[in-house]
Amino acid sequence: MRDFSYLRAASVEEAINAAALPATMLLAGGTTLLDLAKCGVADPERVVDISHLTGLDTIRVDGEGAFIGALAKMSRVAVDAAIQQQFPAVSEALWQAASAQIRNMASIGGNLLQRTRCAYFRDPATFPACNKRSPGSGCSALEGVTRNHAVLGGSDACIATYPGDLAVALTAFDAVVHLGERSVAIDDFFLLPGSTPNREHAMQPGEMITAITIPTSVAARHSTFIKVRDRQSYEFAAASAAVGIAFEADGKTISDIRVALGGVATKPWRARGVEDALRGRAFEPEAVKQASRLAIEGAIDHGANHYKIELAPRVVERAILKTGAMA
C-alpha cells in the first residue's frame, strides 16, 4: 500500500468537494477500505475521513417511512425498535450480515458500497485479468472456479456477485439513495456490469451517500429476510430473499408482494416476475411454488454455480410461505 494524504473533513460540503478529486476514497467505518487496501485492490492517493461528521447518523421512522443516515452503524439500525416493527426484513438482513464486530463498525452507506468478494477481483497479484479492477483486461472468473458467482445479470465482462444483504431488503421495498443534491432509486443505483463492470453504482465523482429512505407500506411491515449460506456464522449468501406481503380484506388474496434476491446476481435483484405472477391471486402453496421458479428467469450458469439456479427459487418459496403465514 502506497503512502496517501489524509483529510479529516469538517463538513459534508468539504467531504463532497474532496471526493471530486481523482484517486480519492471516503473513510467511514473503514471495514471495506482497509480490507481492499490490504489485498492490493484499493490504492488511494488521498483518504477523506467522514466518520465524525454530525447529522449523518440519524435513524427516524414516521408515517412516511424510514430515514437512515449514511453514518448510522449497522448494529444500531438492526436493533432500532421502529425499524424492527415497520421494516423487519431490513433488521433481519442486517442481523445476518457480517460479524458482530463488523456490524458495530460498518456504516450503512459503506455497507451499500462494499465490493464483491470475487476471489479473482481480490487477488491482483495472482489474477491480473479483472475488468472490475482494470477495464479491458478480461475476466479470470469465467474460466475459473465459479461456485460463488452470479447466475443473473452477468455479462461476458463480469460475473461477480454483489455480496451485501441490506441492499437486497432495500431493493424489495423501493428504497431511495440520497447523494446530497440528487436522489436515486436503489434499483437504479446499482448497475449491471455490461461492458463496464468497473462502474458498480450510479454515484458520480463529487457525490457521497448521505442517507437512505424507505417508504412505508403494508408489505414492508409484513416482511422477512431469509439467507442460505455454507455456514451459519459470518458467511456471504449462496442465495437470499427479502419478501413482503399484503392481503386484501379477505385475508387470502395477495394485494401486494415484494421479492428481491441476493447472492445470485451481479446486483441486488428484484424478482418482478414472481411479484406479477402472485399479485391478485389467492395465497396457495402450489401457486407460490410455481411463481417462485420465475425468480431465476434468464439465469445462466457457469458450471460450479449451477446449484444457485435450483436453490434460489426454493429460498424465494420458503420466504413467501413464511411471510404469508405471519401476515
Can you tell me the distance from the alpha carbon of 179 to that of 56, in angstroms, rounded to the nearest whole number? 12
The pLDDT value given to residue 47: 92
96: nearest Cα among 88, 211, 68, 158? 88
What's the alpha-carbon Rg for the chain, to the nearest Å?
A: 20
Written as one letter, the residue type at 217 is: S
Pairing of strands 223-228, 239-247: antiparallel
The pLDDT value given to residue 1: 54
The CATH 3.30.43.10 portion of the chain extends over 1-50
Per run of 10 residues, the mean pLDDT along the chain (length 327 residues) is 84 90 89 85 90 94 97 97 98 92 93 95 96 97 96 98 97 97 97 97 93 98 96 86 98 98 98 98 97 98 97 98 91
The pLDDT value given to residue 33: 84
**What would the DSSP string read from start to end of 180-210?**
SS-EEEHHHHB---TT-TT--BSPPTT----
Fold of 1-50: 3.30.43
The CATH 3.30.390.50 portion of the chain extends over 59-113+162-326
Sign of the Cα torsion 69, 74, 79, 83 reads positive
111: nearest Cα among 166, 39, 55, 170? 166
The pLDDT value given to residue 268: 98
- Can you list the alpha helix ranges (DSSP code H) found in 29-129? 33-38, 74-79, 81-86, 88-95, 100-105, 108-112
What CATH number does the domain located at 59-113+162-326 have?
A: 3.30.390.50
In contact, 314 and 241? CB cutoff 8 Å = no
The model's pTM is: 0.95
Grid cell at residue 132? 472490475
For residue 130, give Cα distances in angstroms to 118, 122, 226, 267, 271: 10, 9, 31, 18, 28
Long-range CB contacts for residues 269-278, cutoff 8 Å, separation at least 24: 269/152, 269/153, 269/168, 269/171, 270/171, 270/172, 270/187, 271/295, 271/316, 273/297, 274/316, 274/320, 278/254, 278/320
